[in-house]
Amino acid sequence: MITLKQKLMAEFFGTFWLVFGGCGSAVLAALFLTSGASPTQLGIGFVGVSLAFGLTVLTMAYAIGHISGCHLNPAVTIGLVVAGRHPKSETFPYILMQVLGGIAGAGVLYLIASGKAGFSTAGGFASNGFADHSPGGYSMIAALVAEVVLTFFFLLIILGATDKRAPQGFAPIAIGLGLTLIHLIGIPVTNLSVNPARSTGPALFVGGWAIQQLWLFWLAPIVGAILAGVIYPMMAGDKNK
């Protein structure tokens, strides 16, 4: 019998891994220039960062999915509760540990990143943003729509892949690739959140604009998740529970 304490430990370390691995790839490896007269870009870019986020979820889904369900995301927890897949009583404890795990992951990343001369959070530290702080200069409305829609489809993938009628054992692959795909779409718009815990961790270290814009990266993912939690059971029927 897995206890709530064990589930919460899994969510803490799982969310730590997501933020440290995903945001770490953006901060440390997205842009990497060799030294010398003719520097060469060896960084992983948008594609590499997208894949890194997907791999964090895929690996943790196999590592802790059997312990806590591997939510790693307040929006996922809320969406699963709305869909009848997760106990309502565990909602707040899950979200609390996810946020703490995200902050811890961002904290360790900060310690590592700040070990390089000239490091500054002025570059964003993988924080999510819109308007002047969107990588592509997208507006608040564009960011809001993108985050709602991409979270909605991410939750549909999670709910469908974990349906008891779906092929068994492959859910982590579908979910990890789904997260990779939505990052490929959304990084230019907001740096992509779809996860309030992932957004909160880096924002606390950047402060200022990142904190001021954080509301959108809580509101939009939760709205998208609730919509999916309502629509998937209607589409699939009740047997998936």
For the stretch 92-137, pLDDT in tens is 999 999 999 999 999 999 999 999 988 999 889 999 999 999 999 9
For residue 184, is it within any domain?
yes
* 49-to-21, 39, 192 alpha-carbon distances in Å: 9, 21, 11
* 128 contact partners, CB below 8 Å, separation of at least 6: 190, 191, 192, 193, 199, 202, 203, 210, 213, 214, 216, 217
CATH number of the domain that 129 lies in?
Answer: 1.20.1080.10
pLDDT at 185: 98
For residue 112, is it within any domain?
yes
Domains: count for the chain: 1
pLDDT at 238: 67
Task: Give mean pLDDT, residues 139-164.
Answer: 97
For residue 39, is it within any domain?
yes
pLDDT per residue as tens digits for the range 153-210: 999 999 999 999 999 999 999 999 999 999 999 999 999 999 999 999 999 999 999 9
pLDDT at 18 over 70: yes
Q: Which domain holds residue 32?
A: 4-236
For residue 212, is it within any domain?
yes
pTM reported for the whole predicted model: 0.95
For residue 122, is it within any domain?
yes
Question: Where are the alpha helices (H) located in the chain, listed in sequence order?
Answer: 4-18, 24, 45-68, 74-82, 91-113, 140-161, 171-190, 196-206, 209-212, 216-236
For residue 133, is it within any domain?
yes
For residue 241, is it within any domain?
no
For residue 129, is it within any domain?
yes
Angle, alpha carbons 19-20-22 (nearest 5°): 65
Q: Which of the four pLDDT bands, split at 50, 70 and 90, describes residue 239?
A: low
